[in-house]
């Protein structure tokens, strides 16, 4: 008996989403536990798996909005040795359309009336299109001044497949009879496919909704600072190899910034807060969101209790989240409950940005690329690896003094990383 393949439940708040892709084809033999489709919601992407071994019949195509519990395929027990049935859910391949070529010997072209254009002088662009396509400017209505035919009119006529009329030598001064004959055999340019329309995924729609919400419902402001990365770079150079051997993971920059942010949040408590109606909730825990870019959009998995984690613990958590986010394996609870977010645009080469709040959090810190810059130290110009920091914050509950103090604290901890190592 065939078994129904249904869209799985992913929590009470999720009622549907997008059946984004099928990992198998209609009629394929599948194995129990095999990933057969991807299901995108406004929060996470998850894979659907086969419950039994057998042959799958797909009933709902990819890129279709579906609801939780909806049947999208069936699996018949056993395997099939015959050729797979045609994919009823797939969109039929578009049949190739023969290009419309105007033959020089075509009767309509040969007998077409030669229309003169004595009432206006064709523009160079119009003459060029006429020469290349054989389209007579006098055969189409003009929208320019005094009824003049424009380049746009010519292109619109071609797109609309307006019948082509041969161009007389007197009609367009630069088109001779031989050119007109040659142009008559030229294929009309196909201007289809210049744009592609696709529906926003549920995740992308949710990201857009949250970003607009953050901009419209908060008094967002951004402050900046810069930090000398040389101390951390030197520390990583001295201890990086030993760290890798001991913990099986590289010592990156992000763990330092997470630790620095936690210490700064402890000292500037207003930044670790959020609004709840007319109340301000100050958080006494340190669950830090780390933004991860994926091909489906930005995701912010949360590293829990960062104040209690070692550098290795933070690096392992970030590495695991990054891989699973890109593979679509992040679970909904892992994206919820953060109190502060760090976004590293520097890995893409960003020099400076104003990150948007991860609502309902009150602050987000943006990291940027590291560039060698000339700075003054003790009256001397020296070269240092400098990173710009940005802190966007909700000015309704965080004052400028507190925001600037927070960023200065982060800078101090990064430039004196040994202070972060105690008790780590």
Q: Which residues are the active-site residues?
A: 395, 399
Tell me if 43 sits within 8 A of 104, measured CB to CB. Answer: no
Task: Report d(CA 417, CA 413) in Å as an integer.
Answer: 6
* Residue 293: closest CA among 247, 349, 252, 248: 349
Helices 311-326, 254-267: crossing angle, 10 deg rounding: 110
CA geometry: angle at 218 spanning 215 and 221, to 5°?
80
Tell me if 346 sits within 8 A of 387, measured CB to CB. Answer: yes
Task: Report d(CA 301, CA 330) in Å as an integer.
Answer: 8
Termini Cα distance of the chain: 58
Burial of 289 from C-beta contacts in 10 A (0-12 / 13-18 / 19+): buried
* Residue 17: closest CA among 209, 229, 210, 200: 200
Task: Report d(CA 9, CA 220) in Å as an integer.
Answer: 36
The tokens describing 132, both together, are 């290349």
Task: Report d(CA 77, CA 91) in Å as an integer.
Answer: 26
The tokens describing 200, both together, are 């926003």
């Amino acid at each position: 008996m065939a078994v129904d393949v249904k869209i799985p439940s992913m929590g009470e708040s999720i009622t549907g989403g997008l059946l984004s892709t099928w990992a198998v084809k209609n009629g394929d033999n599948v194995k129990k536990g095999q990933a057969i489709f991807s299901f995108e919601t406004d929060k996470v992407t998850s894979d659907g798996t086969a419950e039994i071994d057998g042959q799958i019949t797909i009933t709902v195509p990819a890129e279709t909005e579906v609801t939780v519990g909806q049947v999208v395929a069936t699996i018949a027990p056993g395997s099939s040795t015959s050729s797979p049935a045609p994919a009823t859910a797939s969109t039929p391949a578009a049949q190739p359309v023969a290009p419309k070529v105007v033959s020089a010997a075509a009767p309509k072209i040969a007998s077409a009336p030669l229309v003169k254009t004595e009432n206006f002088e064709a523009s160079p662009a119009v003459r060029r299109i006429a020469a290349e396509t054989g389209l007579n400017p006098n055969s189409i209505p003009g929208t320019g001044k005094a009824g003049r035919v424009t380049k746009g009119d010519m292109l619109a006529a071609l797109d609309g497949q307006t019948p082509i009329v041969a161009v007389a030598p007197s009609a367009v001064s630069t088109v001779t009879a031989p050119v007109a004959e040659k142009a008559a055999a030229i294929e009309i340019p196909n201007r289809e496919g210049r744009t592609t329309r696709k529906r926003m995924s549920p995740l992308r729609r949710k990201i857009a909704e949250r970003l607009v919400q953050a901009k419209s419902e908060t008094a967002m402001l951004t402050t900046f600072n810069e930090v000398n990365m040389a101390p951390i770079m030197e520390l990583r150079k001295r201890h990086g190899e030993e760290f890798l051997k001991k913990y099986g993971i590289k010592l990156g920059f992000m763990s330092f910034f997470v630790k620095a942010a936690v210490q700064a949040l402890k000292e500037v408590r207003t930044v670790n807060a959020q609004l709840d109606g007319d109340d301000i909730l100050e958080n006494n825990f340190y669950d830090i969101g780390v933004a991860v870019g994926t091909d489906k959009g930005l995701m912010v998995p949360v590293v829990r209790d960062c104040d209690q984690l070692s550098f290795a613990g933070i690096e392992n958590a970030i590495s695991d989240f990054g891989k699973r986010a890109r593979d679509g394996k992040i679970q909904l609870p892992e994206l919820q409950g953060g109190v502060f977010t760090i976004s590293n645009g520097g890995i893409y080469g960003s020099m400076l940005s104003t990150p948007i709040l991860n609502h309902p959090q009150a602050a987000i810190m943006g990291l940027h690329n590291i560039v060698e810059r000339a700075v003054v130290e003790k009256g001397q110009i020296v070269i240092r690896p400098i990173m710009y920091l940005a802190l966007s914050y909700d000015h309704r509950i965080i004052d400028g003094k507190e925001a600037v103090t927070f960023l200065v604290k982060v800078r101090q901890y990064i430039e004196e990383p040994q202070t972060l190592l105690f008790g780590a």
